[in-house]
Amino acid sequence: MNTISKIEEIKETLTSYVGRRVHVTVKKGRKMRFARKGVIENVYPNIFVVRLEPRGEEGERRVSFSYADILTRVVEVLVFK
């Protein structure tokens, strides 16, 4: 399976989860991780957007990731049931 078809498969999977709660973990470098809960808000041709839940005094935030981030395991997305 080539990279393009894997990215298309990731995109199709995420499209089916739009509106669902997820737990996103991002590897930010050596031994550094960023983990938050949110909702997959939208899926675009090259990126997908997650609306993060507010935490502390921080308001609601939106972050975007590319499908290649999932493919290269920089970003992990776990969907809640």
- The mean pLDDT of 46-73, rounded to a whole number, is 94
- The mean pLDDT of 45-50, rounded to a whole number, is 97
From 21-25, 27-31, 49-53, 72-76, the region with the lowest mean pLDDT:
27-31
Q: 71 — phi, psi (to 5°)?
A: -60, -40
Q: Check pLDDT > 80 for residue 45.
A: yes
- Residue 45 carries which side chain, given as an amino acid letter? P
**The predicted structure's pLDDT at residue 39:** 98
Distance CA 62, CA 19 (A): 14
Domains for the chain: give ranges and CATH numbers: 3-79 (2.30.30.100)
Q: Check pLDDT > 90 for residue 59.
A: no
Q: 57 — phi, psi (to 5°)?
A: -85, -10
Q: Check pLDDT > 90 for residue 1.
A: no
Distance CA 44, CA 42 (A): 7
